[in-house]
Amino acid sequence: MNEIGKYIKKLRKIKNLTQQQLANTLNVSFQAVSKWETGETLPDTNILLDLCYELDTTVDTLLNGGIVNNRRRFIKVENIVNGFAHISYLKECFGENSIFYRGLVEGISNKMNFDFDKTLSSNIEVLYTEAVIQYLMNGYRIDMEEAKMWIKNEKYIKEIERHLTTEK
């Protein structure tokens, strides 16, 4: 219930609504909205559709705490490692100056705001860590022991663990 409440609160704030404003729209008390947001109670089923309409979400997404079908999904860190190995292989196959490889690298570098090519060749654990965190932020789970097999830097491990606790 707490995840649902956090999601309601997040959406309410995104819409710049106070608890009172949302309550007025739904003909409930602001205390009811407060109880939803703290996880003390859930919204009644007779206002669920109206609540979702006001918050621009679906009932399914709301009842899953904002995570659609990813909560039970699991990503192996080995798959992430293999993904980066494939990118390195593209460099080898096409050449580092080919339009294919340069386009890939420049796209990622621009999106992520760092020199992807340099990081790929000098500090691959940063990329593993970033990819793991991106998955965690999207509701996936990982095996922390497997992560530690690929990521040795304690600072990076702590960052992953921090995201593990905040994404639950």
Within-domain flag for 70: no
Verify that 86 and 160 share a domain, yes or no. Answer: yes
Asked whether the beta carbons of 142 and 132 are under 8 A apart, the reply is yes
Which residues form the domain of 31? 2-63
Within-domain flag for 98: yes
Verify that 90 and 151 share a domain, yes or no. Answer: yes
Query: How far apart are alpha carbons 77 and 16 in whole angstroms?
Result: 38
- What pLDDT, on the 0 to 100 scale, is given for residue 166? 62
Verify that 88 and 154 share a domain, yes or no. Answer: yes
Verify that 84 and 136 share a domain, yes or no. Answer: yes
Verify that 42 and 84 share a domain, yes or no. Answer: no
Verify that 49 and 92 share a domain, yes or no. Answer: no
Verify that 105 and 47 share a domain, yes or no. Answer: no
Instruction: List the end-to-end C-alpha distance of the chain, in Å, as a whole number.
Output: 12
Within-domain flag for 10: yes
Verify that 59 and 92 share a domain, yes or no. Answer: no
Q: Which of 63, 92, 109 is the last residue of a domain?
A: 63
Residues 102, 108, 110, 111, Cα dihedral to 10°: 160
Residues 132, 93, 104, 143, Cα dihedral to 10°: -10
- What pLDDT, on the 0 to 100 scale, is given for residue 1? 67
Within-domain flag for 69: no
- What pLDDT, on the 0 to 100 scale, is given for residue 65? 82
pTM of the predicted model over 0.85: no
Query: How far apart are alpha carbons 51 and 22 in whole angstroms?
Result: 8
Verify that 57 and 91 share a domain, yes or no. Answer: no
Within-domain flag for 129: yes
Query: How far apart are alpha carbons 10 and 29 in whole angstroms?
Result: 19
Within-domain flag for 89: yes
Verify that 90 and 155 share a domain, yes or no. Answer: yes
In the chain, the number of structural domains is: 2
User: For each successive 10 residues of the chain (168 residues), what is the average pLDDT?
Assistant: 88 93 95 94 91 89 73 84 94 93 93 89 93 88 94 95 74
- What pLDDT, on the 0 to 100 scale, is given for residue 150? 96
Verify that 95 and 141 share a domain, yes or no. Answer: yes
CATH number for the domain spanning 38: value is 1.10.260.40
Verify that 154 and 84 share a domain, yes or no. Answer: yes
Within-domain flag for 21: yes
